[in-house]
Amino acid sequence: MPRDRTTWPGWVLPGARVAYVDDAQPGVVEERTIARVTRSQIVTDDGAHWRRQALQQSGAWTGALRVLSGIRGKSLAPFDHPEVARRRTPPPAAGVRPAPEADRAAGLEAPVGSGHGETRTRRVVWAGTNDPDRLDTAVLRLDPDRLTATGTSRTDAYAMSWTLVTGPGWVTRRLEVAVRGLAPRDAPWSRDLVLERADDGHWRCDARSAGTLDAPPPGIVDPAQLDDALDCDLGLCPATNTLPVLRLGLLDTDVDPTDLVMAWVEVPSLRVAPDRQTYAGAVVGGRRVARYTSARFAVDLALDADGVVVDYPGLAHAVDPRS
């Protein structure tokens, strides 16, 4: 059966984000967008032509993809592939001590985070508990008073990539999210969101959608209801829980319940709505936890020494990133 040029079942679609990797610069990954697909080539937004066969949504890493203009050693790959996240990991800053091997092997690297006065780059992988087919990855750069992070989430229905930047006090500045429906399914669809918090506390966004998804439209429902929010909370993503954990000092002492308003990003719709949550600090079974309560449920989030969630009951748990 001939393929429809606009859908390409099983392949990256026009408008999708891909990673442009230069093998000579292993720490550099640039973002490209698929502009159009021809019979044998993919054309990116910078005009480069690439072989279509190497960009499978199955997630297989294909380091042999070469640009047709004769430039050697340059490759494209699905933006949400774990290998891309690994290559995007910033190199350790001078003076940053490496994590102990045992912690690294478990995906739970050594303490930095709040109060340690050091910088650490972490890579964490979570397996879905409520959805065994979901796999989440995140690369976090933890500075003494802020963090930056990139991550991915893959299910049997969609692939998501995101980038988070905070300011001092781990207050959200910018969250970018892209979700792509995976073929073969119904008609292809996509959602994109850029969510920003200004210095005056006001939230704004740029939201886009294509195709048909049975879900609310992307974007902020009512910006005024987010005025008290300092944090974003990306749905189904354990990484964003680290922001209130560090700001409230839940790693260092027991903290009474603190009520917060979150800019909650629903996944996969990317609708943004206020969500009232409560965080408290405690030690349970000799382990530091964040006692989390929302209108939907209440759980104890197990934390590692950096304030990263390693067990989110009913949602996800950290696994060895090498497995």
Please report the pLDDT score of residue 32 as a whole number: 72
Cα 62 from Cα 86, distance rounded (Å): 14
> The tokens of 18 are what?
């891909």
Please report the pLDDT score of residue 286 as a whole number: 87
Please report the pLDDT score of residue 147 as a whole number: 95
Residue 183 pLDDT level (bands cut at 50, 70, 90) = low
Report percent pLDDT > 70 for the chain.
Answer: 65
Please report the pLDDT score of residue 124 as a whole number: 94
Question: Which position has the higher pLDDT, 11 or 222?
Answer: 222
* Location of structure tokens 């989110």: 312
* Mean local confidence (pLDDT), 161-187: 89
**How would you classify residue 236: left for phi > 0, otherwise alpha for psi between -120 and 50, otherwise beta?**
left
- Provide the whole-model pTM: 0.67
Please report the pLDDT score of residue 320 as a whole number: 72
**Dihedral of alpha carbons 24, 64, 137, 150, sign:** positive
Please report the pLDDT score of residue 52 as a whole number: 56
Please report the pLDDT score of residue 171 as a whole number: 96
* Amino acid, res. 28: V
* E strand map for the chain: 17-22, 29-37, 41-44, 49-51, 74-78, 120-128, 135-143, 146-154, 158-166, 172-181, 190-197, 203-210, 219-220, 231-234, 258-265, 271-284, 287-294, 298-303, 309-312, 316-319
* Mean local confidence (pLDDT), 256-266: 97
Please report the pLDDT score of residue 219 as a whole number: 98
Residue 152 pLDDT level (bands cut at 50, 70, 90) = very high
